[in-house]
A and B are shown apart, each in its own frame.
Chain A
Amino acid sequence: MLARQSQLVAPDRELERFRFRVSLAGFAVFAAFVVLATRLFHLQVVQHDYYSTRAEDNRISLVPIVPNRGVIVDRHGTVLARNYSAFTLEITPSRVDDLDATIEGLGKLIEILPKDRKRFRRLLEESKTFESLPIRSRLSEEEVARFAANRYLFPGVEVKARLFRHYPEGSVGAHAIGYISRINKRDLEIIEDNEQTNNYKGTDHIGKSGVEQKYEFQLHGETGYEQVEIDAGGRAVRSLSRSAPVQGNNLTLTLDIKLQEMAEKAFGDRRGALVAIEPATGGILALVSVPTFDPNLFIDGIRSDDWDQLNNSPDKPLLNRALNGAYPPGSTFKPFMALAALETGKRTPGQAIADPGVFNFGGHQFRDDKKGGHGMVDMHKSIVVSCDTYYYVLANDMGIDAIARFMGQLGFGQRTGVDIEGESPGVLPSPEWKKRRFRRPEQQKWFAGETISIGIGQGYNSYTPIQLAQATATIANNGIMYRPHLVKYITDSRTGEKTMIEPEPLRVLPWKRQNVEVIKRALVGVNISGTSARAFAGAGYTSAGKTGTAQVFSLKGAEYKESRVKKELRDHALFIAYAPAEQPKIAVAVLVENGGFGAQSAAPIARMVFDYYLLGKLPKGAAKEDDVEGD
């Protein structure tokens, strides 16, 4: 009771205490609101600019507008690579929940073949995260309409009008023109290294080989941008502004596509390479590597069966033999040897040797082609009849160092610097080269006997057809050596201004004019009365040439009989030539793999090329093999 009494007095104190706590709460509330207000002031005033920018970044998206790729034409304006617009069905995987079901559903509307699916899967693995990937290209109008009617069923699937690359000439000149294909990780690095990353936003394709690759950044053009407002789902709400793309620059090649086509046909179903150069400029008129391939297959990701076929074929159609194949030059090496002899003073034109048909050195017999030999042989005759013994002796007299020095100046064993990728340097043999090439000391030693086969273009000699063509053109051009090139000029898409790819003299070789004339006269003799006389019989122009046969297989001592050797082991046939002899307009190097004698299979091809280029005569079908022996 007492306790209750004392409690009863308390209310006033209780109320006071309560009110104190209420004021305290009021103060706390006020303090908390000050905290909130401070935070809001910080966000909305202090950091306003930062957040404004972020809001703009959120809402504004730059959509790249891919420029039209430059067109490639040949020297006469024939289109080699162009663009056309077509509809593709594309899926953005990040916006699709069930990819398989979507593709299944699409398959009911539009024909989607297993190979399309396969290709899509592969693209999916390689793709950047947010891009849309084609599942079907080249839709018909009807297919587009059918999809449009059912579009709502397929979120994340769109029909897009895209530009496609097309190579109207198909496989003709494919190794020179090259092709474009989808950008992969390695290409991205290249793009980054060239500081082109921004310019390639939205670009899916890039040049992978040939001129398409080498001149990629000329052909690509400048990407335009459209500023669009997007919502949180990434959907474009409206367009804000637009800067137009700039079309890529057009390329005009030095190539003559008719000549190219004719030359490719001349090979028939044989494997080989041909390089035709305009000696006065270094411009490449034809760059043949057969068999060739259809670059159109690569554009949207090659189908695996096509790829297997190309990649596994024993004929290696993807190999650019003209640049990347290295072959012993055989007897086509002899005129260069002869010039070396004159320039180094080791021989005079009239100096003759008696050829017994064999040259003995260090207990080894080096045999001539002709049993019993050619009799007395001077320099002119040595080239015309292609006498081996003359060059065995010459090589031995000159020594390997002098040979390597002279041939190196002619560009042998070095990349020519032609304006497409994938060139092989070949092998210019020398003691230094051998030291670099081999590891074991006993292999590194240079033997004098090895010099002797070098003299007739055999042994370690190994050059690319383009090196051979360049050296031939240099002789034709009296020692002025040009860098071979495929692009004649670049046309700026905006101004129409043409940038010529200037003929670029790599070097001017200080040859004595009379020495060059000796060689040239002999080369003319070859086509008149020598090994290739038959191939050039009745030509309406003067020409100079030299046949060659490169051993694939050494038949130690035994006589080479074509019929006895399997086709893959048959010798390679070679031929170098230029015409007209007085004022050369075209120089060629021809190689027919396993073609046997040069005179037999390579020279007729050169004749057809000259006939067409100089006289406009079109042959019928492939070159016939002349029934001639000897190189």
Chain B
Amino acid sequence: MSQVLQRTWARFVARVDGPLLLLTLALMATGLATVHSATADSSSRLLAQALNMSIGLTAMWMVAQLPPQKLMRFGVPLYLAGVVLLILVFFFGIRVNGARRWLSLGFTRIQPAEVLKIAVPLMLAWYFHKHEAALKARHYAVACLLLLLPFALIAKQPDLGTAILVGAAGFYVIFFAGLPWKVIIGLLVAGAAAAPFAWTMLHDYQRKRILTLIDPSSDPLGAGYHIIQSTIAIGSGGSFGKGWLEGTQTHLEFIPERHTDFIFAVYAEERGLLGNAVLLLLYLLLIGRGLMIAANASTLFARVLAGSITLSLFTYVFVNVGMVSGILPVVGVPLPYMSYGGTALVTLSVGIGILMSIQTHRMLVRP
């Protein structure tokens, strides 16, 4: 009987990567505690987030069971479905606060851009894998086009945060697939040259956010308010923080969006620099583990996908913490496993699940 149990358990955990799981659980625990502090007035958020996390963990476990070859098959359909939905959003999306991001299905609303965070790297990784034998310049060009289409559709909604994440995920795949350095450098130069042009393409509110970053006090009650209040929260936290549930900026509601995009300010105020060091270390270890998995992956598909997912995770963290601490402009990017919200949690967990799958299936697939 115990043998049966043991075997079942062994099968249950066979595709789970211990370090990834432990790091994820540690981050989730920290996230839950912080969400509780940020929403001390209502416990319903805390329960909902716990539920989101269990859904995330389930999704992670399920994805981890699928071998990379099977994952590869999802690439094209997911990508196509995602792009079609984005086009539908473009025409029929629901406008909320001036942005067209949601699609109504009658009984619920979905945000198709979220799917692309996984679909784009899957698709591109599949594409490069398919042409692995003879990668030529045109393949990179096609990959770029495959990336640009959803990127443009999302940026147009507008949802700069998601567009950056999708764009980054796609770019990481292309980068790991071996995009020549001269092209990368060329792109950087071209990008710098195009910056003034891009500036004119930005929406007014986006431009304002960048300007406020340079001088938040120019608009202390408007666009600068978020940055001013979150830097006050972080700075006043000091070395050791004000203590859990003791943050005045948090509990007197000075921090806007404190349980979602700005939750890092809540954490930093209450846990101080020490807590921040622990949190950053957790992320660093998670990313390190991801890069290790990428380095050891057995196929090109697995390698570039693992690399892209890991660097995407880094992008979340860097953009979010950079924005909340006032060195990057305000864009809607959540902090992985900390910010309240189910969608991002599931997307992230699927990503970790893919990493687990790649790690635990690597011996089965020989080149």
Contacts and interface: CB of A to CB of B under 8 A. Distances in A.
A229 B253 CA distance: 12
A237 B300 contact: no
B233 interface: yes
Interface stretch (B46-54, B112-120, B286-294): B286-294
B106 interface: no
Interface stretch (A25-33, A508-516, A554-562): A25-33
Interface in A427-476: none
Contact of B178 (A3, A11, A18): A18
Which applies to chain B's interface (DSSP): helix, strand, loop or mixed?
helix
B175 interface: yes
Most B Cβ at <10 Å: residue of A30, A47, A54:
A54
A36 B235 contact: no
A11 B367 contact: yes
Contacts of B253: 231-233
A350 B322 CA distance: 105
A44 B272 contact: yes
A21 interface: yes
Contacts of A48: 235-236, 238-239
A84 to B, nearest CB: 37
B318 A32 contact: yes
Contacts of A41: 273
B249 interface: yes
Given A45-B238, A58-B249, A36 B325 contact: yes
Most B Cβ at <10 Å: residue of A39, A45, A47:
A39
A32 B276 CA distance: 15
Contacts, number: 133
A43 B176 contact: no
A8 B367 CA distance: 11
Nearest to A46: B235
Nearest to A36: B321
A553 interface: no
Nearest to B252: A231
Nearest to B277: A37
Contacts of A59: 248-249, 252, 254
A47 B239 CA distance: 11
B234 A44 contact: yes
Interface in A11-27: 11, 14-15, 17-19, 21-23, 25-26
B236 A54 contact: yes
Nearest to B237: A44
Contact of A51 (B236, B300, B303, B307): B236
B309 interface: no
A58 B232 contact: yes
A50 interface: yes
Contact of A25 (B249, B311, B367): B311
Given A18-B176, A37-B277, A40-B325, A26 B234 contact: no
B314 A29 contact: yes
Given A32-B318, A52-B238, A45 B273 contact: yes
Interface in B303-355: 303-304, 307, 310-311, 314, 318, 321-322, 325-327
Interface in B224-250: 229, 231-239, 248-249
Interface in A395-443: none
B234 A7 contact: no
A237 B273 contact: no
B264 to A, nearest CB: 10
Contact of B252 (A15, A23, A40, A230): A230
A50 B252 CA distance: 19
B287 A29 contact: yes
Given A48-B238, A230-B252, A19 B231 contact: no
A520 B133 CA distance: 132
B81 interface: no
Contacts of B201: none
B322 A54 contact: no
B183 interface: no
Given A43-B235, A52-B238, A37 B280 contact: yes
B327 A39 contact: yes
A51 B235 contact: yes
B232 A54 contact: yes
B363 interface: no
Contact of B322 (A18, A23, A36): A36
A48 B311 CA distance: 32
A55 B249 contact: yes
Interface string B108-149: 000000000000000000000000011000000000000000
B187 interface: no
A329 B366 CA distance: 124
B311 A29 contact: yes
Nearest to A7: B133
A237 B176 contact: no
Given A7-B134, A47-B235, A19 B254 contact: no
A4 interface: yes
A55 B232 contact: yes
Interface string B9-23: 000000000000000
B295 interface: yes
Contact of A55 (B134, B248, B280): B248
Given A40-B276, A44-B272, A232-B229, 15 more contacts: A8-B133, A17-B178, A18-B178, A18-B303, A25-B311, A26-B288, A33-B280, A35-B327, A36-B280, A36-B325, A37-B280, A43-B234, A44-B238, A52-B236, A54-B236
- Per CB-CB distance, the 10 closest pairs between chain A and chain B, nearest first, are A51-B235, A55-B236, A231-B252, A232-B253, A43-B235, A44-B273, A51-B236, A232-B254, A48-B238, A52-B236
19 contacts: A7-B134, A8-B133, A18-B178, A18-B307, A29-B287, A29-B291, A32-B314, A33-B318, A36-B280, A36-B325, A40-B273, A44-B237, A44-B238, A51-B232, A55-B232, A55-B248, A58-B249, A232-B254, A233-B253
Interface of A: 3-4, 7-8, 11, 14-15, 17-19, 21-23, 25-26, 29-30, 32-33, 35-37, 39-41, 43-45, 47-48, 50-52, 54-55, 58-59, 229-233, 237
Interface of B: 133-134, 172, 175-176, 178, 229, 231-239, 248-249, 252-254, 268, 272-273, 276-277, 280, 283-284, 287-288, 291, 294-295, 300, 303-304, 307, 310-311, 314, 318, 321-322, 325-327, 367
